[in-house]
Amino acid sequence: MLEILAPRVERALGIDQSREMLSIARVNLARAGLENGSVRLGDMYQLAVPDASFDAVVIHQVLHYADRPAAAIAEAARVLRPNGVLVVVDFAPHALEFLRDEHAHRRLGFSDAEVAEWCRAAGLDPASPRHLAGDPLTVVIWTAHRHAPTHPRFAQALQPGAPALVEGELH
């Protein structure tokens, strides 16, 4: 995700709880010459970044590891600026139990309705999801926007610049 996004934004930050994954990402960023992309050890439930400090947050193939997906979305929403966008990419509901048993997935996909509900609960306005049908797994791209400031702290945080935050790092 960082390799795709960093060339298009002012600054892109990737967060992952795995040091190994971060090492791989650093190598890939260096190889691609993307100096405005960086990575940091962190937890998606407790991002060490200020409120309303990013224009976009991407949670790419991480939510199925979450035992509290609604909390992860709420934390992502916290760091979004007004007019910012959250993008969640993960699986539609499926029945591949081996992903739970052998690959530590906590959830076998997500329904559009539950993701939309978690976004609304976090103060975001969900858009129509995009389904990339596959066999046996369908990938879904859910997007949700933070609209006008609802709290003075968001208004104060409005600044020029367009950093992007990517939760969970790429190989």
Query: Distance between CA atoms of 43 and 18, rounded to whole angstroms?
Result: 9
- Contact with ligand SAM (CB under 6 A) among 35, 43, 114, 125: 43
Q: Choose the stretch contacting ligand SAM; rule: CB under 6 A; options: 16-24, 76-84, 106-114, 130-138.
A: 16-24
Contact between 18 and ligand SAM (CB under 6 A)?
Answer: yes
Contact between 1 and ligand SAM (CB under 6 A)?
Answer: yes
Query: Distance between CA atoms of 62 and 75, rounded to whole angstroms?
Result: 14
Contact between 107 and ligand SAM (CB under 6 A)?
Answer: no
Residues 132-171 that bind ligand SAM (CB under 6 A): 168-171
Contact between 109 and ligand SAM (CB under 6 A)?
Answer: no
Q: Choose the stretch contacting ligand SAM; rule: CB under 6 A; options: 57-65, 78-86, 92-100, 131-139.
A: 57-65
Which residue(s) pair with 139 in the sheet?
Answer: 91, 132
Query: Distance between CA atoms of 39 and 46, rounded to whole angstroms?
Result: 15
Q: Choose the stretch contacting ligand SAM; rule: CB under 6 A; options: 54-62, 94-102, 120-128, 153-161.
A: 54-62
- Going by C-alpha positions, the residue among 142, 152, 140 that lies closest to residue 57 is 142
36: tokens are: 């405005």
**Sign of the torsion angle spanned by Cα atoms 137, 39, 122, 66:** positive
Q: Quickly count helices (H) and strands (E) in the chain.
A: 6, 8
- Which stretches of the chain bind ligand SAM, using CB under 6 A? 1, 15-18, 21, 43-45, 60-62, 65, 168-171
